[in-house]
Structure 1
Amino acid sequence: MKIINVLKVLPLIVLFVFSACKNEEKQDSPVNEPAVAATQTGQAFIEDDNSTPNVLQIAMSSPDHTTLVAAVQAASLENVLVNAGPLMVFAPTNAAFDALPAGTVEELLKPENKQQLAAILKHHVTAGNYEKNFIKKFKKLGQADDTNVTVEVKGEDVYVGGAKIIASIKAGNGIVHVVDKVILPKSN
Structure 2
Amino acid sequence: MKKQLLALALIGGLMTAHGCADTKKKNTAEETETAETEIQKEEVIEVQTPNIVGVAAGNENFSTLVAAVKAAGLVETLSGEGPFTVFAPVNTAFEKLPEGTLDGLLKPESKATLTSILTYHVVSGNVKAADVVKAIQDNNGSFAITTVQGNTLTASLDGENVILTDAKGGTSTIVLTDVEASNGVIHAIDTVVMP
Flag the structure with larger Rg.
2
1:79 partnered with 2:76: yes
Picking from 140, 153, 156, the partner of 1:149 is 153
1:83 Cα deviation from its structure 2 partner: 1.1
Is contact 1:88–1:177 with CA below 8 Å preserved after alignment?
A: yes
Cα RMSD (Å) of the superposition?
1.1
Q: 1:131 aligns with which of 128, 132, 138?
A: 128
Q: Does 1:93 align with 2:97?
A: no
Give, in angstroms, the shift of residue 129 of structure 1.
1.1
Shift of 1:117: 0.3
- What is the alpha-carbon distance in structure 1 between the residues aligned to residue 180 and residue 164 of structure 2? 18
Deviation of 1:104 after TM superposition, in Å, equals 0.3
TM-score of the pair, normalised by structure 2: 0.68
- Deviation >4 Å, runs of 4+: none
Deviates more, 1:127-136 or 1:103-112: 127-136
The letter of the residue matching 1:86 is P
Could you list the runs of 5+ residues in structure 1 that have no partner in the other structure? 1-48
1:173 aligns with 2:183: yes
Please show how residues 11-160 of structure 1 align to structure 2 within 5 Å. Answer: 50-136=47-133, 137-138=135-136, 139-160=143-164
Q: Which structure has greater helix proportion?
A: 2
On the 8 A contact 1:132/1:165 being kept in 2, the answer is no
Q: What whole-Å deviation, never above 9, does each CA across 1:57-113 have from its counterpart, x for those lacking one?
A: 111011111110110000000011011111000110110000000000000000000
Percent identity between the two aligned chains = 38
User: Where do 5+ consecutive residues of structure 2 fail to align?
Assistant: 1-45, 137-142, 166-170
**Matched residue type, 2:176:** A
